[in-house]
Chain A
Amino acid sequence: MSGDRGNHQGHDHADWPYPHPKQPDLEDGPLTHYMAMTEAVVELLIDKEIISADEMRRMIEVIDSKSPAEGARMVARAWLDPDFKARMLEDVNEAAREMDIDAGSIPIRAVENTSGIHHVIVCTLCSCYPRHLIGLPPDWYKSREYRSRMVRKPRAVLAQFGTIIADDVEVRVHDSTADLRYLVLPQRPQGSEGMDEDELSALVTRDSMIGVTTVTIEKG
């Protein structure tokens, strides 16, 4: 690597024959009606002192800080404590409060995978997702391909994620349309007997709580 010219990560921008295009900036795309509307509403709310700029910033920071760790803790607790599991299947938000987890104000329902049924979540209309418990949705969850195909060819889409569901197991797709959010309670994996809550929660991944994969000791 020569350090004396416009050198960047080992290749020379000056005479590299295959220059890569620069990553587009957000502003390189069109400013759509709804983008302009969103900015205008935020400015109005701040101008009218309904919220402050700092409160707006803080809310975005809080949302961005959410991760799958809290959902995973709840799954691990449910695996260890059948009474907690029953409460979680009834009302996730209330069960979260027991663990000092803020699951937000939108009702979340847990759906339990068993040897007879495999649940998977999609929002065909937009991108409804239990953000308080598993963070922001991955880009693929919001893609038109996932949203249209998961409900129509769920087994084929699951196979693309490397998840093969046996023919004697019902695949149940939940479409999250407006009022509820969903969290899959995956099956506790073989070989996890004797693990404590922390060890179990480390096995639980985001994708397993969406239902596009299962929990195994190996993946954890």
Chain B
Amino acid sequence: MSPRFAIGDRVRVREAYPPGHVRTPYFIRGKTGEVIRLLGDLPNPEELAYGRDGKPVLPLYWVKFMQTELWNDYTGVDKDTAVVEVMENWLDPLDGDTR
């Protein structure tokens, strides 16, 4: 499938807490970041974990977060970042962008 997001897009990680083999870490849920790299389409690891085929494949992104966005009490330097691989079904466009 063609990716919904492009490099530079601002995205928000869904704030959801489903059960299962979820690969989206808690610390980025509900947080805002920026797409910095497209990693191609991959089988969904949340499905693969249960012996299913992981279809449909989903675009995977590198999303960059400012550490100060992730942690209110961040003690490092403002420019510090975290980069996490996130599957497209976990990302919403920011500001109601409905592409």
Contacts and interface: CB of A to CB of B under 8 A. Distances in A.
Contacts of B80: 154-155, 170-173
4 A-B pairs closest in CB distance: A178-B23, A178-B45, A155-B76, A173-B82
Interface of A: 107, 124-125, 151-156, 167, 170-180
B6 interface: no
Contacts of B75: 153, 155-156
Contact of A173 (B39, B42, B45, B81): B81
Interface in B74-88: 74-77, 79-86
B77 A175 contact: no
Contacts, number: 68
Given A177-B23, A178-B45, 4 more contacts: A151-B27, A153-B76, A155-B75, A174-B82
Contacts of A152: 27, 71, 74
Interface residues of B, number: 24
Contacts of A125: 23, 25
A88 to B, nearest CB: 15
A136 B84 CA distance: 22
Contact of B25 (A124, A155, A174): A124
A180 B45 CA distance: 11
Contacts of B27: 124, 151-152
A151 B27 CA distance: 9
A176 B45 CA distance: 13
B60 interface: yes
B24 interface: yes
27 contacts: A107-B39, A124-B27, A151-B25, A152-B71, A152-B74, A154-B76, A155-B80, A167-B77, A170-B79, A170-B80, A171-B76, A172-B80, A172-B83, A173-B82, A173-B83, A174-B84, A175-B82, A175-B84, A175-B85, A176-B85, A177-B24, A177-B84, A177-B85, A178-B23, A179-B60, A180-B39, A180-B85
Interface in B41-82: 42, 45, 60, 64, 67, 70-71, 74-77, 79-82
Contacts of A154: 67, 76, 80
B83 to A, nearest CB: 5
B82 A177 contact: no
Contacts of B84: 174-175, 177
A138 to B, nearest CB: 21
A180 B86 CA distance: 11
A107 B82 CA distance: 20
A30 B71 CA distance: 37
Contacts of B23: 125, 177-179
Contacts of A177: 23-25, 84-86
A170 B81 contact: yes
B45 A175 contact: no
